[in-house]
């Protein structure tokens, strides 16, 4: 039981390049989330999904797109990377069964945009 | 506007020196308060969920408590391995999404 995994762990991009971050979970969770973490800013929600085929905007969605074609996977795309997107990206999942619904996090992807 | 504030930003303790971390929140409706531990270069690791004022939960040297306006994470006789950043987050009734505080970085020296 791997929990939440993220690919890749590290990536360096040049301004204007595109890339996709992959998140996978093996807990059969309905809800999945993408956060970014920046020094002094805390964790901020980018996009989230409440089920296969659904996506919704979070607090800081601009410059990112997401897709949830399969229940266990949640993809985060950067179409044209900018230096402001240099950050550590975390994926999380939760069961979505109601109550406080604890989120479980992946190990993160460190992205640098030059 | 929903808000979560953690204090202090950083805390240095000697091994065995007990202390508390604070998480104060202003939200329209609380559906749970969460504490996470984050080690450098790792993702947040879940510690506790608190549902309602007066609730307490314990795990080893950690004890989390909740009032209507704040939560405390008490660390009793800490060890160097307790060094980490501790994150507080709230789930609100409006959106169901988590709002995180900025974290408290704890360093425990032997």
Predicted confidence band at A42 (pLDDT cuts at 50, 70, 90)?
confident
Looking at CA atoms only, how far is residue A54 from chain B in angstroms? Answer: 15
Judge contact between B7 and A75, C-beta under 8 A.
Answer: no
Structure tokens at B96: 């169901």
Residues of A in contact with B31 (CB under 8 A): 99-100
Pairing relationship of beta strands A10-13 and A109-113 according to DSSP bridges? parallel
Question: B105: number of CA atoms within 13 Å, CB side?
Answer: 7
Task: Choose the mutation target among B96, B98, B101, B103 for the interface with A, i.e. most A CBs under 10 Å.
Answer: B98
Return the H-helix or E-strand segment holding B84: strand B84-92
- How many Cα atoms sit within 13 Å of A70 on the Cβ side? 9
Q: For A50-104, how does the pLDDT look when each residue is reduced to its tens digit (9 = 90+)?
A: 999 999 999 999 999 999 999 999 999 999 999 999 999 999 999 887 666 889 9
Residue A95: phi, psi to the nearest 5? -70, -30
């Amino acid at each position: 039981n791997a929990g939440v995994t993220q690919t890749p762990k590290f990536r360096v991009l040049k301004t204007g390049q595109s890339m996709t971050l992959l998140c996978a979970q093996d807990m059969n969770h309905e809800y999945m989330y993408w956060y970014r973490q920046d020094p002094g800013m805390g964790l901020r929600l980018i996009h989230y999904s409440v089920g296969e085929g659904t996506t919704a905007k979070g607090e800081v969605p601009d410059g990112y797109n997401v897709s949830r074609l399969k229940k266990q996977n949640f993809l985060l795309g950067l179409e044209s990377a900018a230096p402001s997107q240099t950050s550590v990206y975390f994926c999380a999942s939760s069961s979505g069964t109601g109550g406080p619904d604890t989120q479980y996090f992946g190990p993160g992807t460190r992205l640098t945009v030059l | 506007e929903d808000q979560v504030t953690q204090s202090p930003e950083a805390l240095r303790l000697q091994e065995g020196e007990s202390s508390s971390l604070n998480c104060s929140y202003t939200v329209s409706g609380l559906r749970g308060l969460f504490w996470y531990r984050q080690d450098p270069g790792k993702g947040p690791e879940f510690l506790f969920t608190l549902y309602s004022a007066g609730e307490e939960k314990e795990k080893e040297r950690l004890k989390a408590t909740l009032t209507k306006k704040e939560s405390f994470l008490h660390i009793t006789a800490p060890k160097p391995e307790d060094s980490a950043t501790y994150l507080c987050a709230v789930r609100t009734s409006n959106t169901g999404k988590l709002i995180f505080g900025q974290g408290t970085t704890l360093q425990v020296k032997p």
